[in-house]
Structure 1
Amino acid sequence: MSENIRVALADGVLMVAMHRPEKKNALTREMYAGLAEAIERTAADPDIRCLLLTGTEEVFCAGNDIADFRKPRPPEDPASPGPSHRFYFGLAQLEKPVVAAVPGLAIGIGCTMLLHADIVYAAPEARFRLPFVDLGLVPELGASMLVPWLVGKHRAAELLLLGDFFDAAAAERMGFVNRILDRAELLPNATATARALAAKPQEALRLTKRLLRPQETPALLARMEEERALLAERLRAPETQAIMANVLKPKR
């Protein structure tokens, strides 16, 4: 398990916290592996009945670590998928409920992973962004299908093509989050909700989640694969490499 992914199990809830505050919890390949391990553990362990995702006190996740993201990757072997693939598809297909507590920034993957949670609480200070186009990339984790499903085609185009920040109040109006809670109340309330879910009849909960959500459909999984292929192409593109190099350039 990555030192930047912290897990704790209590009352049937596995709490998974991204903990890299000096980099605003930006995800590295090692962190993806830690998240994937936690999701796979949740899926396999009958004593874990709910997954709770959170970050540090002030940040949820500021997206991918750009320096780590730019590193060359070997072609993925379908028989042995890499950490991000395991995380993406493990989260999308997890049959147990997922609760998320968002104390602050949720950018890129930090925002799109919330599309796969069942219940999301956010602090008033939380800010969200889908900046893929500005980085020369395309959406991932099924966002190109799930965002229009959630907010409608035109608003989705605004969010994904312009890539502007939106605040917690807008996120609540659009359905990205269920409720806004003061930061001091955020994690206690999310934990209480996760424990309440963990105490419910599990087979009924599993079946109801499957009926509620489109993530289980082959169309979504196929779109996620399509996004990943396009993302890999874009990462190699000179345009994208130049944008990322500029992002990493020391600020004067």
Structure 2
Amino acid sequence: MWAPQIITRYALLKNIEWDVVVQDDDVYGQALAEFEDKWNATHLLNSEILNLYANKLNFAIERWDMDYDLSAALVKPNFMQRKALKELNRYRAVGTNRALVVAAAGSGKTYLAAFDALNFNPKRLLYVVHEGSILKKSLETFQDVFGSAVSYGIYSGTSKESDADFVFATNITMCKTLELFRKDEFDYIIIDECHHATAETYKKIIAYFEPEFLLGLTATPERMDNQDVFELFDKNVPYELRLRDAIVNNLVVPFKYL
């Protein structure tokens, strides 16, 4: 029989978590046997295994280099991104100046933002996120799409590259220094992980700047504190791709618990 759904803190922050209660001892036995099988298949790490792994890795890299022509590689939108881009263009065509895209984690939200920015062609762009560790990865994604056509800068507690064409900033640092920027400094602003956007730092940033277009990205817009993320974007949601649909369409891999 199924137990009631139990939501833990981790589940609320990440995804839905299910717990199951069973009356058949065989189910527990199968799970235990699976665990023991995985445990017994492991090996103690030693220099011999490390050397073997290093040799296999080097061989794989050499084969990849021979088989893959980097100069011919072009980053292109996947089917989800193409649909979202079409809808974003449609919304802008009727005068919409802000929108929220809901897409499962791992389905390509950052690339979607880069592709939409490419369509929009801003002179200056601001990308805001709550963690400094995400900035560099986001910047690299935009470099994949824009290449050397624009300059890139990180604006955080440890870096103040605010003169770049595309600025990647943490919400806290940007909120503390808003007066250093004109209200119309950026043509295009992206708020990543914008389920955090109900925090005061984000609200101040959104209220201060006057971009031609504001894009919000999140996998989990619904909140448990009655704060309305949708309202920050005038309830404009041109596209949604939830986790189940992302799995069905092979954009993310299904997860398996043991």
**Both proteins in one fold, TM over 0.5:** no
User: Between Structure 1 and Structure 2, which shows a larger proportion of helix residues?
Assistant: 1
Q: If the length of structure 2 is used for normalisation, what is the TM-score?
A: 0.27
Q: If the length of structure 1 is used for normalisation, what is the TM-score?
A: 0.28
Higher alpha-carbon Rg? 2
